[in-house]
């Protein structure tokens, strides 16, 4: 089994924002889609109610993980759900979604939102949402820890999140000294984000700490189905998220709330939104 290693790593930098936003950091910064493909960006946000009121999307998917606080999802089909720490929401914006993501009451919502590309033939697919609650997420018990499987198949466990493209998402919770071999599909691009603690990762045992991000190498051994990624906990309490996805290998044009394959399609998205084709507003 091939062992992955760290390709690049960096520490997230944060900036204070104007109310109702509080603080933002770019886990996956903008402008590096070819390096992250199929992932576009990933933002870490702290915000109060009113920060992400009604807004549109087209041409991609979002995956939102609630780190702390409560997040209320509202869409223009009348759906309204509240997510709590450890919960995850998937949205396929497809041909056009219109929704709001709000902190509940006087909470400060702390979230991670990943933008995941759609291939050209699926950019006008039907929009849909899926909530994956922490307590309903399947778990692998390991020595000195456990791993939650949100999406994809890892070992014999299949996560409940149903993406339009092949991905895996896992949350690893480890005690000091825990050694864990995480399986990744051999054709997938992968990255990790450390939420707490300190760990060693990959066959070169690269050290990562809280707020560190690392992309992992890929292999050309396509005869294999999976690679392994070694993770060793160096502190009392380690939590990290592990994402992987199959590259789409298409040129994209991200602009504002839309991700399409050409500037003409971006102009069309704005025109459709302004002329009401995305439907009524999502009202909080």
Tell me the CA distances in angstroms from 105 to 67, 137, 177, one per residue in order.
Answer: 17, 26, 40
| pLDDT per residue rounded down to tens, the chain (284 residues) | 689 999 999 999 999 999 999 999 999 999 999 999 999 999 999 999 999 999 999 999 999 999 999 999 999 888 899 999 999 999 999 999 999 999 999 999 999 999 999 999 999 999 999 999 999 999 999 999 999 999 999 989 999 999 999 999 999 999 999 999 999 999 999 999 999 999 999 989 999 999 999 999 987 666 668 899 999 999 999 999 999 999 999 999 999 999 999 999 999 999 999 999 999 999 86
Q: Which domains does the chain have, with CATH numbers?
A: 6-245 (2.60.120.10)
Helix (H) or strand (E) holding 179: strand 179-185
Tell me the CA distances in angstroms from 62 to 78, 99, 115, 240, one per residue in order.
Answer: 19, 12, 5, 19
Q: What is the DSSP letter of 122?
A: G
How far apart CA 123 and CA 35 sit, in angstroms, is 21
Q: Is the CB of residue 111 less than 8 Å from the CB of residue 44?
A: yes
CA angle 162–283–56, rounded 5-degree value: 55
Q: Which residues pair with 64 in a beta bridge?
A: 89, 113
């Amino acid at each position: 089994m091939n062992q992955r290693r760290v390709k690049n790593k960096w520490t997230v930098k944060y900036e204070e924002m104007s109310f109702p936003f509080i603080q933002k950091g770019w886990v996956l910064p903008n402008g590096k889609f070819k390096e992250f493909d199929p992932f576009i960006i990933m933002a870490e946000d702290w915000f109060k109610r009113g920060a992400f009121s009604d807004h549109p999307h087209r041409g991609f998917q979002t995956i939102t993980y609630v780190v702390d606080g409560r997040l209320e999802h509202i869409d223009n089909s009348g759906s309204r759900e509240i997510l709590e720490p450890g919960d995850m929401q998937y949205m396929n914006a497809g041909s056009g979604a219109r929704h709001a993501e709000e902190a509940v009451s006087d909470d400060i919502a702390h979230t991670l939102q990943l933008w995941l590309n759609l291939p050209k033939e699926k950019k006008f697919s039907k929009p849909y949402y899926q909530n994956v609650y922490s307590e309903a997420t399947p778990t692998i018990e390991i020595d000195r820890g456990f791993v939650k499987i949100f999406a994809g198949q890892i070992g014999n466990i299949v996560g409940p999140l149903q993406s339009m493209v092949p991905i895996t998402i896992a949350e690893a919770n480890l005690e000091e000294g825990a050694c864990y071999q995480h399986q990744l599909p051999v054709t997938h691009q992968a990255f990790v984000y450390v939420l707490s603690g300190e760990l060693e990762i990959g066959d070169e045992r690269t050290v990562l700490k809280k707020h560190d991000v690392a992309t992992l190498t890929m292999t050309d051994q396509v005869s294999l189905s999976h690679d392994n990624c070694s993770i060793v906990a160096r502190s009392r309490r380690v939590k990290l998220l592990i994402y992987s996805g199959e590259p789409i290998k298409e040129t994209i044009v991200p602009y504002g709330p839309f991700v399409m394959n050409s500037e003409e399609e971006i102009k069309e998205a704005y025109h459709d939104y302004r002329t009401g084709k995305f439907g009524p507003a999502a009202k909080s």
